[in-house]
Structure 1
Amino acid sequence: MLEKELIAAARRGNAAEISALLQRGATADARDDTGATALLVATHENNIEAARVLIEAGANVNAKDHIEDSPYLYAGARGHLEILKMTLAHGADLKSTNRYGGTALIPAAERGHVQSVKTLIEVGVAVDHVNRLGWTALLEAIILGSGGDKHTEIIRLLIDAGADVNLGDSEGATPLAHARRRGFGKIERLLAAAGAH
């Protein structure tokens, strides 16, 4: 019962209630029916203080639910920067992957979360990791991105971090080819300047 209350408090973002429940013996890594821990539930809602209390109580930042999301991976993918930074400070597994076989960096790049991308690059997440779709963060930011300022900045960050600008998708199409196909002129110029062909 305490576990159910803890999950509910995490969903509402009630940090004081979470503290009280933990003191009463609730397990920090209590899970709901989807396999999500209280911390992942708090992360879904971007409830920063709730996440902080749970992490400080020892909640596992790498615990995955039934669809392979963990607090660390979800925070990265959704641009929940404060929670992402907390997970990184508390043992986030930089090599862990989501259900697509991608690191946190790939969906962060795709969704245009500039600060999350910057943070993940700084802590050393592999920039050229290839997911099950055959895409790197660079490819995904072009293929699924908007071509706007945020995605252009992300491409620049990835290039500066040493991303392989000629690493193509599973069919061999390069980032430059994808950028051209989508008419992303700024991204095309950035890639060309970095030696893309």
Structure 2
Amino acid sequence: MRPAAAWLALALTLTTGMQAMAGDDLHALVAAGDLPGIERAIGSGAALDTRDGQGRTPLLLAVAENRSAIAKALLAAGADLNAQAVNSDTPWLLAGASGRSEIIAAMLPLKPDLTLRNRYGGNALIPACERAHVETVRLLLTSGIDVNHVNDLGWTCLLEIVILGNGGPRHQSVAKLVLAAGADPNLADRDGVTPLAHARQRGQDAVAALIAAAGGR
């Protein structure tokens, strides 16, 4: 190898190594909630999508820790909101499941990959509905997400609202939202039990009334 080429190869190796180290540092900075440190690391060319031992990127960690300002800084710098961890979480999927509405709002213009699934075969909407994250559900429904997607358990978002919800005001609110967005009130589980039948079995009278009003049987 010519001397000039050897020096170039060495420089590239050192640069790559420094970026990897910076990426590793990003995880620690996210965990510490150090936004100025994150901004300095980004400005220094830190590798944004390096993975920890669980396959989590700094952005996924920011979502998990509910570090909204840090997540938005990483997104603005180009961090991958679709990077999937070992457990199948992506920043988008986890933000939906965890009710991170501010982060979801920042992700929407970036066109998240709506085909990716969590470890239960679900999209971001299903766990958001189960946990009655009302504002998050409202935002997710603007993304074009499939409101009738069926997960590996055989449940839609509406079925999870009833089966895993408590029928209270928040679950009533998300039921209204998904029904208005086109959730099929008669899409039954694998045993043929409809959302309305589940709601009545569980004494969720208000939710049952909503489903019936939408044509549920």
Question: TM-score if structure 2 supplies the norm length?
Answer: 0.88
Q: Decide which structure has the larger Cα Rg and report it.
A: 2
The answer to whether the aligner puts 1:85 opposite 2:117 as a matched pair is no
| 1:87-126 correspondence runs (5 A) | 87-126=107-146
Contact kept in structure 2, 1:110 and 1:140, CA below 8 Å: yes
Secondary structure of the equivalent of 2:28? helix
Does the CA-based 8 Å contact 1:71-1:87 persist in structure 2?
no
Structure 1: give runs of 5+ residues left out of the alignment. Answer: none
**Matched length:** 197
**1:18 pairs with 38, 60, 65, which one?**
38
AA partner of residue 94 (structure 2): Y
Residue from 163, 178, 189 that aligns with 2:198: 178
**1:50-94, Cα deviation, whole Å (9 max, x unpaired):** 111111111000001100001111011110001111122223112
Q: Which residue of 2 aligns with 1:4?
A: 24
Amino acid at match of 1:51: A
Distance 1:95 1:16 in 2: 34
Aligned to 2:87: 67
Deviations 1:96-119 (A, max 9, x none): 211111110000000010111111
Match of 1:151 among 168, 171, 176: 171
Partner of 2:14: none
For residue 84 of structure 1, what is the amino acid of its counterpart? I
Alignment partner, residue 35 of structure 1: 55
Normalised to the residue count of structure 1, the TM-score between the two structures is 0.97
Root mean square deviation, CA, Å: 1.0
Residue of structure 2 in register with 1:127 after alignment: 147
Residue 3 of structure 1, CA deviation: 2.2
Amino acid at match of 1:123: S
Deviates more, 1:111-120 or 1:5-14: 5-14
Contact 1:167 1:175 (8 Å CA) reproduced: yes
Identity value in percent: 47
Cα deviation 1:129-175 (Å, max 9, x = unaligned) = 00000000000011001110000111111111111100000111100
